[in-house]
Each structure stands twice: as C-alpha cells, then as structure tokens.
Amino acid sequence: MTKAVGRKTGAFTSLSSASSFRGGIPRLAAAAACAAVAAVAGCATRADLLEVQHDQRAVRALLADQQVAIEGLRRRMEILRSDQSEPGKRHGGPATADTSRQLNDLEGRVAALELARPSVPPSAATASVEVERPPVEIRPAPAVPPTPPAPKVQSPQEVALAKEETAAQSARVDGDYREALGLVKRGQCTQAVPRLRDFVRKNPKSDFADNALYWVGACYYGQRDYSRAIVEFNDLVLKYPKGDKVPAALMMMADAFADSGDKIDARLVLQKLISQYPQAEEAGQARQKLPSLGE
C-alpha cells in the first residue's frame, strides 16, 4: 500500500512541475517569434538579433524541460496502468477508481501540454541586419575618350606614291601627271598607264619622266603581268640610267622575275643593284632578299 501511495505522489509532483511550463513558454516563445519575424523582415538592429538569439536559447531550454516532464508523466501513467492490472484491483474498489481518475486527469493534462507546445522561432542567424550607414554619394564615372582607330599600315608602294605626289606638287609638274598618279593610287591602272606614257612622250627630259615609266611598270606588276612589268622597268634603266628611280626599278624587276619563277635572273638583277647602287635603300633590301633565292 505504501508503494502505491509513493507512486501516486510522484505522479502529482511531475504533473505540478509540467503545469508550471504552460504559463512561461507561450509568452517567451511569442516574444522570441515576434523578434525573429522582425529580424527576418530585414528591419532588426544588432541588439534585436542578440535578444532573439537569447530568447531562442531560453525557449529551447524550456521545451527540453517540458519534454522531460511529459515523459515523466507518461511513465507515471504506465505505472498506474500496471497497478490497475494487478490481481485484487480488477473488480473495482476505492484504489481502482482513484487510479482511473488520476489516469484520466494525467492524460488530459499531457494532451493539453502537447497541444500548447510552441514552435521554435526562426533562427536569427538567417536574419538580415539593417545597419544604419551614411548615404553614399554616387558620382558619374568620368567620360572615357573613345579609342582612336589604329592607323592603317601602308604598303611600300603606297608610301612611295605618297612621296611621289608630294614631290610632284612641290615641283609644279604637269597636272596630267598628278592626275595619273591619283589614278594609280586608286587602283585605276587601266586609265593611268596611257596618261603616264603620254607624259613621257611630251616631257622626255623631265625629272619625272623616269618616275612615270616606273609607275607604268608598277601598274603591270600589280596586275601580275610580270613580263610587261619587266619590259617597262628595263626600258627605264636603259633610257634613264642616272634617274633616281633606277634602283627601285631594278628591285621591282627582280621581284617580277622571282614571282614568275625565274630565280636566276632575279639574282642577277639584285647583284647588279648591289654593285652599281650600293648606297641606295633598295641595295639593303636586295642583300636581304638574295639568300631566299638560293645559290
């Protein structure tokens, strides 16, 4: 009999401890939940987050204690149920009726505690902190000047033409010659060649007569008519051996021979250029080109 009384007393003690949680937990959980919602919403300060974390720890501790109390009540209920099943208590009586009342009361209170158990508020670790910062002055980026296009690389012929045009303009050469040079520059050699020949015919002793023959040969070379180009360059060398365009004509003649597959004559022309005009710019080019033509 003493044993049964002790069990009943323990049951009421656990029930009293468990019931003490019901008042504190909902209020603490509600406060933590409100603070956590504010943190998640992105409007909480750092102090608010610290308070949320503190409340969460307190709620979790109370929930753990509540769970321990509920488990204790359940164990007491199991003890009471076992007492009911003992021989001598199955036919009713004061002890059995009292045990049944205690069981019903305990079951109701355990159910109420489980229904009233609060959920853990959202973690403050995921909440964003709104830190007051001074307004940032947004300044427009400095204007970057556009990158100028890369200068066009001129070919040697284009460079030579530019020099020729400048020289012709300075010397006040016949306008027909300057127009012919313009046609060569634009690649209109079909129209340029007759005008260049006409200039040589009208001005055979002009300082630009050998230049005119050079550009005739250059036109044929540009059209890959190497045979006619060679004839024109050779004509220039024969008619104007002291002309300033002779080294350039020899260099172009060697290129025409090489491009047509005649490397032997190309070498001979280059050797003549180096021998007769060693100080000319084209002589240096000839020295560089000779090894590529073989022995």
Q: What is the pLDDT of residues 169-194, one digit of tens each?
A: 887 887 889 999 999 999 999 999 99
% of residues, the chain, pLDDT over 70:
66
% of residues, the chain, pLDDT over 90:
39
pTM: 0.50
Please give the residue range of the domain that contains residue 76. 2-126
Domain annotation covers residue 50 = yes
How many other CB atoms sit within 10 Å of the CB of residue 173?
20
The secondary structure of 229-249 as a DSSP string is HHHHHHHHHHH-TT-TTHHHH
CATH number at residue 252: 1.25.40.10
Q: How confident is the model at residue 151 (pLDDT cuts 50, 70, 90)?
A: low
Domain annotation covers residue 143 = no
Average pLDDT of 37-62? 64
Q: What is the pLDDT at residue 134?
A: 67
* Tokens 């003992």 -> residue: 86
Domain annotation covers residue 151 = no
Same domain, 99 and 160: no
* Tokens 């490397």 -> residue: 263
Same domain, 223 and 271: yes
Report residue 135 as tokens.
């307004």
- Greater confidence (124 vs 116) lies with 116
Residue ending a domain, choose from 126, 142, 166 = 126
Domain annotation covers residue 249 = yes
Half-sphere exposure for 242 (CA within 13 Å, toward CB): 3
Does 127 score more than 70 pLDDT?
Answer: no
